[in-house]
Amino acid sequence: MRLILMGPPGAGKGTQAKFVADHFGIPAISTGDIFRANVSQGTPLGVEAQRYMDAGDYVPDEVTNQMVRNRIDEPDAQPGFLLDGYPRTLAQVQELDGMIAFTGHSLDAVVVLTVDEDEIVDRLLQRALVEGRADDTEDVIRKRQAIYSEQTEPLIEVYRGRGILIEVNGMGEVDDVTERIFEALDVVPQS
Ligand code: ADP
């Protein structure tokens, strides 16, 4: 399976990504997690990414694309993968198309978690208290949402046009959302 999980910041992508990836026996690849790991290890990539992340801006496409390309070239991603947090721009969509075409496979489905934006600001502020992420202040959260609406939401129509979009209600209990995603994906034919 080659899957994308999309949704606004705070929609619960990271939580659901792990469950879905385990279900299909594929790695969950989270660009946010990879960036954060690089930041905490102080790698050159981390140093480059940090200033964008702290401001709530997207890391430049060339940097992100190269990082994803390297990750999906790894052996564990050959049977498939679930992308969490990528692609986020139209340029990333094109780049990903090229990466997947090169392997002779295709993208099987794009799952979008639909949520109530005001409710998720509360969720993110709560996460800020628990996890202490540097980019979880209210101003930065609102900015991340605005950038999502402007740059990432248009991707939904691109994938709808290809007939591979699946919208799932992301509100409610974590387990219920997981169940909804499984139900929707279990009928998707794998390429
Ligand atoms: P969120 O909770 O906002 O969805 P993520 O953990 O997915 O956060 O990402 C955190 C930050 O990492 C983003 O705000 C952005 O700066 C950077 N980032 C992650 N994925 C991408 C991407 N595909 N393109 C550009 N920047 C990205």
What pLDDT does 135 receive? Answer: 76
Mutate to test the pocket of ligand 1, among 58, 115, 152 (most ligand atoms within 8 A of CB): 58
Beta strands in 7-139 (DSSP E): 28-30, 81-84, 109-114
Q: How far is the CA of 19 from the centre of ligand 1 (A)?
A: 20
Per-residue burial over 144-169, b if 16 or more Cβ lie within 10 Å, else e, is: bbebbeeebeebbeebeeeebbbebe
Give the residue, out of 92, 135, 140, 155, with the most ligand 1 atoms within 8 A of its beta carbon, to mutate for a pocket test. Answer: 135
Catalytic residues: 13, 88, 127, 133, 144
Cβ 39 under 6 angstroms from ligand 1: no
pLDDT per residue over 142-180, tens digit each? 888 999 999 999 999 999 999 999 999 999 999 999 999
Q: Which residues of the chain have pLDDT under 70?
A: 191
Distance between Cα 37 and ligand 1 center (Å) = 13
- How remote is the CA of residue 31 from the centroid of ligand 1, in Å? 6
Does 165 sit in the ligand 1 pocket, CB within 6 Å?
A: no
Q: Decide if 77 contacts 85 (C-beta within 8 A).
A: no
What pLDDT was estimated at residue 80?
96
